[in-house]
Chains A and B, each alone.
Chain A
Amino acid sequence: MPITRALREAAFAGLVAAGLAFPILTLGTELDQSNRLVLEQRWSWMAISAALVCVGRFLVLILASAPTHRVARAPLVSPALTRLLPSVSVMALFLFPLVMLFWLGPQGSLKWINNYGVQILIYVMLGWGLNIVVGLAGLLDLGYVAFYAVGAYTYALLSTQFGLSFWLCLPLAGLMAASWGAMLGFPVLRLRGDYLAIVTLAFGEIVSAVLTNWTDFSNGKAGIMSIPRVTFFGLPFTASENGFAATFGLEFQAIHRTIFLFYLILVLALITHVVTLRLRRLPVGRAWEALREDEIACRSLGINTVNTKLTAFALGAMFAGFAGSFFAVRQGFVNPDSFTFMESATILAIVVLGGMGSQLGVALAAVVMVGGTEVLRELTFLKEIFGSSFDPSLYRMLLFGLAMVVMMIWRPRGLISSREPSVFLAQKKNVSGALVQEGHG
């Protein structure tokens, strides 16, 4: 692109940015002592944003016209690496908490194992669960978090009201979520594409509203407190004599529980993964993918599409239920704030950014999105640059939203878009993402 044209377009973009900046940036609203809104003028912000956009646009134009953009078409992760990465990363994940513990000690490693390890793995598991529904079966589910909530509250209520143990509640939570999935799915899975999306969204909002308002049942906004913590198959992680540490002759440390939680979610996520991989090679899994490719053709081959969708929906819900009960046992308390539409949107974004249907892609996207926002929490050094009133965590969600837009534009089909065939005759060849359909349900 000729420089002059780039300059002209950049100037135009800057002008638009100046327009956008007025008045939302240039006039701040503040409450004064008498609780009256007064305006604060900051016209320099307009100039700054216009200049930033202008320069940014110019750089994008110049860089995009360089031949480098063809690289983006190539697979992000090379096929050889794709084959190796899963087993290597599983191994690395099993070693991760121990390495961290030895390296940083029980205090220093806590953040890494908990905020990064456990947090990311929860989203990996949720992403894999939703991947069955969205990535494989091609059904758009905007209320996935509802099933996560069902799982969490199942454990929270059964354990606090009836004293059931986590190990009993875990399967129950999965079953409960799956039955809710089937109950919602049965009437609505006949609906076409976008209607299904809004119905699932509505369902998510209903669940959240019920949890918020039905105080007798869920204790409303306050949530359920003091949910029993996880035990090592019966041995509590406490300093007591029959606790985990004492039984194994270790010195008591709080990190033990965190490490156990890490392994627990890792195993749960891996179960999700293995079940999904196996199902893909079974008739029902192939029918899911066929459904995503062409529902009418499926029906012409004698496939009961409603049942097929229902299994995908219920199974996806089940894994969310497992994850939900894990969430409850990890936090020790639950309230409706953890199950908002934002969560559903984040999980869906992970699936789509990962590349629909790709297990590895979903895991990578979870690392990028969740890990990325965790990293943003750490940017406290920016306070030293911009002054102490500057709060970097304010920008966390702003950047999160922006990243979703940018990543979609960068790779509309996700990080890993090619599809691995479920069966082959002579040679396993991945199917290019351009041929894979995305479903209309």
Chain B
Amino acid sequence: MADIEYPNLDPRLRPAEPDHPMSLEGDVISGDPALLVRCLAEEMLMGGMSAPELTALSHSPQYQSLYAARVSLGHEATDRILGEVIARVGVFSSEVWESPIQDETPVALTVSAPRRDGKGD
């Protein structure tokens, strides 16, 4: 059987076409990376994140919002802002009591696998 040909959808992998009607348009809306770091740090601390967790988050490329600001501002400036916010805001904490909602009785599950001898399940 011939392989089915799927269209190649990923634009990065497609060869560029000379007449590709690609136009690049964009407006610059200036922001303030230091304000971004300050606000995000306040948010995370007010959400109960500890200072070491916040610092670790700002080093992780998986969490771009702080990381990108670190790349743009540099380590020294970012650490200075983080330190300032941690000292000013502290770590917010709260005590949560949620009413018990789960039925803890164990449930017996029967799991069956399809048979391989062709005689049905």
Do chains A and B interact in one complex?
no
Chain B interfacial positions (CB closer than 8 Å to A)? none
Chain A interfacial positions (CB closer than 8 Å to B)? none
